[in-house]
Chains A and B, each alone.
Chain A
Amino acid sequence: MPTVKLYANLRKLAGTKELSITGGTVGAVVNELVRQNPPVGEIIVEHGELRRHIIVTLNGQNITDLGTPVTEQDTLAIFPPIAGGEGEAHGWLV
Chain B
Amino acid sequence: MAGWSEKVLDIDLSTQTCRTYPLDMEIARLFIGGRGLGARLLWDMVGPEVDPLSPENVLIFTNGPLTGTGYQTSNRFSVTTKSPLTGTILDANSGGFWGMQFKKAGYDVMIVRGKAEKPVWIEIRNGEISFHDASELWGMRVFALTAKLGHNNNKRNVLCIGPAGENLSRIASIMNDRERALARGGPGAVMGSKNLKAVVVEGKDRPAIDDPERFKFLLYETRKLLAASPLTSQALPEFGTVVLMNIMNNIGALATRNHQQTQFEGADAISGEELTEKYLVKNASCWACPIGCTRVSKTGKGESEGPEFESTWAFGAQCGIDDLPAIIEANTLCNDLGIDTISVGSTIACAMELSEKGYMDSDLRFGRADQLAPVIEAMAYRRDVGADLADGSLRLATKYGHPELSMTAKGLEFPAYDPRGMQGQGLLYATSNRGGCHMRGNMVGPEVLGLPKMIDRFQVQGKSSFVILHQNVSAAIDSLVLCKFTNMGVADEYFARVLSTVTGIQYDTGEMTRVGERVWNLEKLYNLREGFSRKDDTLPPRLLNEAPVDGPSQGWVVQLEPMLKEYYRGRGWDENGVPRPKKLEELQLADLLVRN
Contacts and interface: CB of A to CB of B under 8 A. Distances in A.
Interface stretch (A23-31, A34-42, A58-66): A58-66
Interface in A1-18: 5, 7-9, 11, 17
Contacts of B484: 92, 94
A62 B284 CA distance: 33
B396 interface: no
Taking residues whose C-beta sits less than 8 angstroms from the other chain, chain B's interface range is 35 or more
Contacts of B551: 60
A94 B489 CA distance: 15
Contacts of A5: 250
Contact of B490 (A81, A89, A94): A89
B491 to A, nearest CB: 3
Given A90-B487, A94-B309, A83 B449 contact: yes
Contacts of A11: 273
B461 interface: no
A62 B457 contact: yes
Contacts of A17: 268
B454 A62 contact: yes
Given A7-B247, A92-B442, A93-B244, A87 B489 contact: yes
Contacts of A77: 250
Interface in A33-82: 53, 55, 57, 59-62, 64, 77, 79-82
Would you list the 8 A-B pairs with minimal beta carbon distance, nearest first? A91-B445, A60-B552, A87-B491, A91-B451, A85-B229, A92-B484, A83-B449, A81-B230
Given A81-B234, A82-B244, A94-B415, 19 more contacts: A7-B247, A8-B238, A17-B268, A53-B230, A55-B450, A62-B450, A80-B235, A83-B230, A83-B450, A84-B230, A84-B231, A85-B225, A86-B228, A91-B452, A91-B487, A92-B484, A93-B241, A93-B449, A94-B309
30 contacts: A7-B273, A11-B273, A53-B449, A55-B450, A60-B552, A61-B251, A80-B235, A81-B235, A82-B243, A82-B449, A83-B449, A83-B451, A83-B488, A84-B230, A84-B231, A84-B451, A84-B488, A85-B225, A85-B229, A85-B231, A86-B489, A87-B489, A87-B493, A90-B446, A91-B231, A92-B445, A92-B488, A93-B241, A93-B442, A94-B308
